[in-house]
Structure 1
Amino acid sequence: MDVIKVLVILLSVSLVEILGHNHQPKDQDAKNNWWQHEVFYQIYPRSFQDSNGDGIGDLQGITSRLQYFKDTGITAVWLSPIYESPMVDFGYDISNYTNIQPEYGTLEDFDVLIAKANELGIKVILDFVPNHSSNQHPWFLKSVAREPGYEDFYVWQNGSLLENGTRVPPNNWLSVFSGSAWEWNDERQQFYLRQFTFGQPDLNYRNPAVIQAMDDVMLFWLNKGIAGFRIDAVIYIYEDALLRDEPLSGTTDDPNVESYLNHIYTRNQPEDYLLLQHWRQLLDNYTASQGGPRRIMMTEGYATVAQLMEYYEDANGVQGPEFPFNFDFITEVNENSTAADFVFYIERWLIYMPHGHVANWVMGNHDNPRVASRFGVKSVDAMNMLLMTLPGIAITYNGEELGMTDYRNISWEDTVDQPACEAGRDSYQTISRDPERTPMQWSDELNAGFSTSNHTWLPVNPNYKDLNLRNQQQARQSHYKVYQSLLKLRQLPVLKNGSFIPDVVNSRVFAFKRELKGEHTLLTLLNVKNRTEQVDLTDFIDQPNRLSVLVVGVDSHHRVGDRLKAESIELAPFEGLVIQLNKRK
């Protein structure tokens, strides 16, 4: 079936179902808003908790730690891939979408995890990886063999053969991990598209059978009791049907690196949006038929802000995912950014976002250096104050609540990240993602309480003796306790529904108010530079006010309950404060 027919099918399904969706009772809509001010905590299962002493985190380990989330105040977690996989890319190369990777456990273990999470009031979101499967997936093996029904399950092309016998790929497309995006298969005698590693062939969504197969996968896990999906790499799902060469970017002379091309034919194609709208309706229909809270969809994809906004809804108002991840705190600001930079990127998202939708803020993840390593260890509390007091959804990567840091001195022999291994001994450290994936630091016991094994899949950061949860739980003040207090603060109506009003105090300090009629105004104040600041906020806050400190960082000379004067507030280097404005009567 050609692309036009596939688009018509997807669009017609979406439009019919949306008409029905728009007539849902308002009380049902209110019931389904649970996610709109949620803190989603990302668990990297391989590094979270090992229950059987093999050095690898697993499902039973996660289940054993669910009470931690209850005690902390986390009510929604999402798991990086746990599906059966050869682990070329640690679970993002899936060989069976409806089974658990054996080293993580079994489907029965997953059922126990869901049951325990439900008992504790914790919702579970699963990672879903639709762009590609593993090259060990039965679908791919059948496609290689041209078995009926699977011939076009993946993107296959002939390429060309030069007189000297050299095989040339169909076009100039490049892999995210460098080199050609086309891999030759001897058995089928064709190239297959793989935008990531050789072990991750791209599925062909121009084949309706692929869409149906993925719909069935979603329904399988929904029936297991999950609250929704985080969908990986959505910008890559469709490619240009004409396979046109991509233009040069002009930013590098190296023809093997991703940035050599301007990726106008392999990312953010119009069909991507239609497919996600189709899946949104699948989830909405499931909720309508089965009852309970809305099953949601959040998407991962690095793109321009204008492209990301189309994932919320298209020009006709057709709804896509509940939200696309906002990576601006990872991609746009860093330790060199000014106060104005922070305010600019916060406001940019809020201004661009279509009316009626919810903002989200991702401070870290398993693919990028940790917050403490990007912004500096002294910035941990301020960055969490920023994350937790902005309007909308907050995303926390496991360990960020403790201020965990990257372990950059992992040896070549201990390196397992595939792109780093392919880069070689001389270059691996510059691109490896292993440093931000080291095991969770629970205590000062063996392997930070992560595992009883003599060898863990990645080495534990040696700083675990001092930097660990148990120490921070026992300390008078700690990153964990600051994080916990911010979670409690998020229950205030002013943080759930209040307006957002920012102010750039100077190049180093910015502030923002959260205001709601009938509620005390909250003020977040952040110093993003390494110098002490004395700031005057009298022009920014309504007078007369009494300023009471609600949250302080671990190194602050301020204390919770302190009264401050608006005309003279001292901020230490990299300090953040959350303040309540109490109007005098």
Structure 2
Amino acid sequence: MSSHRLVALPVKHERSARAPGCFLQSDDDDDDDDDYVSSGWCPKPNAAKSTVELRGQAQPDTEWWKTAVLYQIYPRSFYDTDGNGVGDIRGVTAKLQYLKDTGIDATWLSPIFKSPQRDFGYDVSDFLEVDPLFGTNRDLEELFAEAKKLGLKIVLDFVPNHSSIEHWWFKQSELGVEPYRDYYVWHPGKPVAGQSRPAVPNNWNSVFYGSAWEWSEIRQEYYLHQFEVGQPDLNFRNAKVIEEFDNILTFWMARGASGFRVDAINHMFEDALFRDEPINDPSDPLSYGYTHHIYTNNLLETYDVIGHWRKVIDEFVEQTGSDTVYGYERFGWRRAILMNFIHFSIMLTEAYTSMDMVLRFYQSDDGSEQRAHFPFNFVLLGELNGASKARDFKYVIDRWLENLPRGKVTNWVLGNHDQPRVGSRYGEERIDAMNVLLMTLPGVAVTYNGEEIGMVDYRDMSWEDSLDPQGCNVGPEEYRWKSRDPQRTPFQWDDTFNGGFSTANKTWLPLYPYYRQNNLRKQLESDWSHYKVYTEAVKLRRHRVFREGSFRSKAFDEHVFGFVRYLKDDPADGSFMVVIINLTDEPSEIDLYDVYDSIGDRDARVYLVGTESRYKINQVVDASRLLIGPYESIIVGNDASSSFGTITGCYRLIVASLALVGILMKLTYL
């Protein structure tokens, strides 16, 4: 199976003193710097004009996830089919064709498992049962089956750090019943003279504000909860707990899950000695920022568990996917063929932490242990915003790509249910630019439902309507700035009652008040809209130059950032695409030869523009003098770029045909 990797081509290098594994290659371009060619772990670029060049293996890829558009669905807010004001699994199934039409490859579902819903599903009381609020296990299996018919993958949220206090494990642990006694993190506390109840064990605080310790009258000990008080932390130093989650992974893979997003993984282990953490910000002793989290975050044991779960997933795939005979024996050959019994599951990790700690989720330092297929890359969420300049974009993007371990697939997360929406974080005028950027960078694009139509946060939501514990815990004066409710409002399908989301008199969260002005139906009926820019960008990323091409970026000035994707190493093709975004309201004239000097005398043609562009698609432009208007987003390429993945498509057809022949040959021996 071929691999799609961003690696350095074999070239003669002069060893740089900058860092081991990073080489400085002299160039003959007009700028003052040399070009960096990544060969492993490299330092940040030190000038806005430096050129980071990551060269890809120009081969088609047979693994669906490596260039996928992964679309997060927050089920509560997506589509309600039973009229209770809350979205459900059948609502996702009903909208699968919409996802297919939009160009989505896979969807990641936020938690749908049984839960008292104190943290909207992240407090799980049964990891093997769908919550009745969303439907049934049968509904979920039907979703898997219908998605498969359309060629879509379903990725589930996997929440191992904690459970709900309503989980059977916790109830038994609280009673001291074996084998559950040590399933959670318990501590007797610190004795206090003259008091019957001991003090909390240490100064650890919850992400949701206040102490991370809660007293149990039943067990007469404290339990740890790094999040909401109803979310006790599981004890992963207990091998039986790890085994429980092994079984959970296998259970859902066997029913059709194509992957798992592992939530809050960096909180999985805590210091076994329960030491106080050093003070960070003494202004509020109850806030999460009060301490440096050196004993509750990013402990090295976490990576061992992720490596173990990768083996669990890979072994399941090997048994049920690579060995197709296993599928025939289990399901019968007719059903196996109908099911396209070639299974491939992936594991993604979520950890808001430093880049070096995030990158360790790919593999061990020596590469001997494989871990996540990819850890979420949050640099577009956490390090850039509406005030960022072109050089900031270049620095952040180049630094990530330079440090990407050899042979690993990158990804870019532009939105999720915990972070402000693109239009609220970057400004509504930059929605097209950011979506175009996301869809044309190398690797996996991770997007959030509603971003395709430019939904924005409902920051003026009333205190009475607010439900998020992260906001409610800080009170009515500060909730607006802490709550995640504003980015979780229902999807705006049309301009009818409740935006077409639900027929209920009251939805679980109120809709954004201006949904009649901004909704999917209106954007579909418009000549050009955020949605149409988004879908055209998704179509363009299917082009071979975006799937397999090399990458080189440029900060043209403080306003305009751009990069080129090209197939220079394939002389028969010679395709290139230049992506340009203006981050400000200042127009700028740029020369595309500054980022890619191999344009030659060929015409540069416009392939995509934003909603406010002066250019038209298919317009021929002067590559040496391209005027970029305020907040402009534009993709320009050469005529060779008009062949959309023909070679890749033919290759895939050949591979599929050979696979079918192989299956038929095997059937003759069954």
TM-score, normalised to structure 1, is 0.93
- Cα distance in 2 for partners of 1:43, 1:319 equals 28
1:319-468 equivalences under 5 Å are: 319-468=370-519
In the TM superposition, residue 582 of structure 1 has moved relative to its aligned partner by: 4.3
In the TM superposition, residue 247 of structure 1 has moved relative to its aligned partner by: 1.4
**Partner of residue 285, structure 1:** 315
Could you tell me which of 285, 308, 320 is aligned with 2:358? 308
Secondary structure at the counterpart of residue 301 of structure 1: coil
**Partner of residue 509, structure 1:** 560
Contact 1:99/1:107 (8 A) holds in 2: yes
**Partner of residue 216, structure 1:** 247
1:128-147 equivalences under 5 Å are: 128-147=158-177
- Cα distance in 1 for partners of 2:427, 2:136 equals 39
**Partner of residue 228, structure 2:** 197
Secondary structure at the counterpart of residue 538 of structure 1: helix
Secondary structure at the counterpart of residue 607 of structure 2: strand
List per-residue Cα deviations over 1:262-282 (Å, max 9, x = no partner): 111111111100000000011
- Cα distance in 1 for partners of 2:637, 2:148 equals 34
**Partner of residue 124, structure 2:** 94
What amino acid sits opposite 1:415 in the alignment? S
Secondary structure at the counterpart of residue 67 of structure 1: helix
- Cα distance in 2 for partners of 1:430, 1:145 equals 39
Does 2:256 match 1:225? yes
- Cα distance in 2 for partners of 1:554, 1:110 equals 37
Does 2:143 match 1:113? yes
What amino acid sits opposite 2:204 in the alignment? W
**Partner of residue 124, structure 1:** 154
Contact 2:423/2:429 (8 A) holds in 1: yes
Could you tell me which of 485, 502, 527 is aligned with 2:582? 527
**Partner of residue 633, structure 2:** 576
In structure 1, stretches of 5+ residues that fail to align are 1-28
**Partner of residue 16, structure 1:** none
- Cα distance in 2 for partners of 1:540, 1:194 equals 50
Contact 1:523/1:581 (8 A) holds in 2: no
Could you tell me which of 40, 63, 66 is aligned with 1:33? 63
- The CA RMSD measured in Å over matched residues stands at 1.5
What amino acid sits opposite 2:476 in the alignment? R
What amino acid sits opposite 1:538 in the alignment? Y
Could you tell me which of 530, 537, 540 is aligned with 2:592? 537
- Cα distance in 2 for partners of 1:538, 1:88 equals 55
- Cα distance in 2 for partners of 1:330, 1:164 equals 50
Could you tell me which of 297, 308, 317 is aligned with 2:347? 297
Contact 2:552/2:595 (8 A) holds in 1: no
What amino acid sits opposite 1:418 in the alignment? P
- Cα distance in 1 for partners of 2:351, 2:192 equals 37
- Cα distance in 2 for partners of 1:492, 1:179 equals 50
Contact 1:545/1:583 (8 A) holds in 2: no
In structure 2, stretches of 5+ residues that fail to align are 1-58, 322-341, 642-670
In the TM superposition, residue 567 of structure 1 has moved relative to its aligned partner by: 2.7
- Cα distance in 1 for partners of 2:624, 2:149 equals 49
What amino acid sits opposite 2:165 in the alignment? N
**Partner of residue 539, structure 2:** 488
Bigger drift between 259-268 and 326-335 goes to 259-268
List per-residue Cα deviations over 1:106-153 (Å, max 9, x = no partner): 111111111111111111000000000001101000000001111100
List per-residue Cα deviations over 1:35-62 (Å, max 9, x = no partner): 1000000000000000010000001111
In the TM superposition, residue 253 of structure 1 has moved relative to its aligned partner by: 2.5
**Partner of residue 26, structure 2:** none
1:51-62 equivalences under 5 Å are: 51-62=81-92
Does 2:245 match 1:188? no
Contact 2:85/2:502 (8 A) holds in 1: yes
- Cα distance in 2 for partners of 1:519, 1:458 equals 51
What amino acid sits opposite 1:537 in the alignment? L
- Cα distance in 2 for partners of 1:315, 1:105 equals 43
- Cα distance in 2 for partners of 1:433, 1:504 equals 33
- Cα distance in 1 for partners of 2:623, 2:491 equals 40
In the TM superposition, residue 420 of structure 1 has moved relative to its aligned partner by: 1.3
List per-residue Cα deviations over 1:432-490 (Å, max 9, x = no partner): 10000000010111101000001000001111101111111111101111111111111
- Cα distance in 1 for partners of 2:302, 2:539 equals 38
Secondary structure at the counterpart of residue 435 of structure 1: helix
**Partner of residue 271, structure 1:** 301
- Cα distance in 2 for partners of 1:180, 1:271 equals 24
**Partner of residue 24, structure 1:** none
Could you tell me which of 491, 514, 530 is aligned with 1:479? 530
**Partner of residue 237, structure 1:** 268
- Cα distance in 2 for partners of 1:497, 1:258 equals 42
**Partner of residue 615, structure 2:** 558
What amino acid sits opposite 2:83 in the alignment? G
- Cα distance in 1 for partners of 2:533, 2:377 equals 24
- Cα distance in 2 for partners of 1:72, 1:359 equals 22
**Partner of residue 171, structure 1:** 202
Secondary structure at the counterpart of residue 482 of structure 1: helix
In the TM superposition, residue 316 of structure 1 has moved relative to its aligned partner by: 2.0
- Cα distance in 2 for partners of 1:559, 1:488 equals 17
In the TM superposition, residue 32 of structure 1 has moved relative to its aligned partner by: 5.9
Secondary structure at the counterpart of residue 502 of structure 1: strand
What amino acid sits opposite 1:158 in the alignment? P
Contact 1:494/1:519 (8 A) holds in 2: no
Could you tell me which of 86, 92, 111 is aligned with 1:81? 111
Cα–Cα, structure 1 residues 523 and 142, in superposed 2: closer, same or farther, change >3 Å?
Answer: same
Secondary structure at the counterpart of residue 624 of structure 2: coil
- Cα distance in 2 for partners of 1:110, 1:350 equals 36
- Cα distance in 1 for partners of 2:521, 2:511 equals 16
Contact 2:208/2:469 (8 A) holds in 1: no
Secondary structure at the counterpart of residue 634 of structure 2: strand
Identity of aligned pairs, percent?
Answer: 46
- Cα distance in 2 for partners of 1:193, 1:571 equals 54
**Partner of residue 34, structure 2:** none
Bigger drift between 557-566 and 494-503 goes to 557-566
In the TM superposition, residue 540 of structure 1 has moved relative to its aligned partner by: 2.8
Bigger drift between 85-94 and 481-490 goes to 481-490
Bigger drift between 176-185 and 353-362 goes to 176-185
In the TM superposition, residue 315 of structure 1 has moved relative to its aligned partner by: 1.1
- Cα distance in 2 for partners of 1:125, 1:416 equals 26
The structure whose Rg is larger is 2
List per-residue Cα deviations over 1:202-250 (Å, max 9, x = no partner): 000111110111111111111111101011001001111121221122x
Contact 1:34/1:293 (8 A) holds in 2: no
- Cα distance in 2 for partners of 1:31, 1:168 equals 57
List per-residue Cα deviations over 1:76-130 (Å, max 9, x = no partner): 1110000000001000000000001111001111111111111111110000000
**Partner of residue 338, structure 2:** none
- Cα distance in 2 for partners of 1:277, 1:39 equals 25
**Partner of residue 149, structure 1:** 179
In the TM superposition, residue 252 of structure 1 has moved relative to its aligned partner by: 4.6
**Partner of residue 8, structure 1:** none
Does 2:131 match 1:63? no
In the TM superposition, residue 544 of structure 1 has moved relative to its aligned partner by: 2.5
In the TM superposition, residue 164 of structure 1 has moved relative to its aligned partner by: 4.6
List per-residue Cα deviations over 1:496-552 (Å, max 9, x = no partner): 111110111011111100011224100001111122222233333323342111010
- Cα distance in 1 for partners of 2:602, 2:287 equals 56
- Cα distance in 2 for partners of 1:227, 1:400 equals 23
Could you tell me which of 195, 215, 237 is aligned with 1:206? 237
TM-score, normalised to structure 2, is 0.81
Cα–Cα, structure 1 residues 210 and 32, in superposed 2: closer, same or farther, change >3 Å?
Answer: farther
- Cα distance in 1 for partners of 2:62, 2:582 equals 37
